[in-house]
Amino acid sequence: MELQPKSIPRGNNRILFLDDNESIVKSAENMLEYLGYKVVGFTDGQEALRAFSEKPSEFDLVITDYVMPDLTGEDIAEEMIRIRADIPIILSTEDSELISSKKAVALGFRGLILKPFNYREVAELVRCVLDQKEQKLFR
């Protein structure tokens, strides 16, 4: 019996993606759009909050970097959750020493993913969070 590779999960939801590194934003936009998602990318936390607060129902998911120049991912998530309590937010970071998955979940995040992003891990975590399955840590 030949094993078939597990298919990569896709979707058509709307995602707000935030990272202070423009190349990471572009790369994530490309990756998520290839998976079928509609993505709005930001490199500025204030701009992302403004866009979210103007039309909170326009987004199904937020992915934010933990370390940002003006506001932390924690600050951004706190404000977004204040605006819309049911918005699922995934936290991304390069440094697993900064925040644990347990702390991320305690702060209201639905998942934590480490950079650099792995295509399959991003696809699976996004689908898992959107489908409201258990919180996860990838890598």
Structural domain boundaries enclosing 46: 14-138
Number of domains in the chain: 1
Cβ neighbours of residue 59 closer than 8 Å, sequence gap 6 or more = 14, 15, 16, 40, 52, 87
Looking at the chain, how many residues does it have? 139
CA distance 56 to 83: 7
> What pTM was computed for the model?
0.91
**Residue with the two structure tokens 């490199």:** 43
Residue 40's CATH number: 3.40.50.2300
Mark the ranges of the chain whose per-residue pLDDT is less than 70. 1-4, 133-139
- Give the model confidence (pLDDT) of 53-85 as tens digits: 999 999 999 999 999 998 999 999 999 999 999
User: Cα-flanking dihedrals φ and ψ of residue 16, to 5°?
Assistant: -95, 120
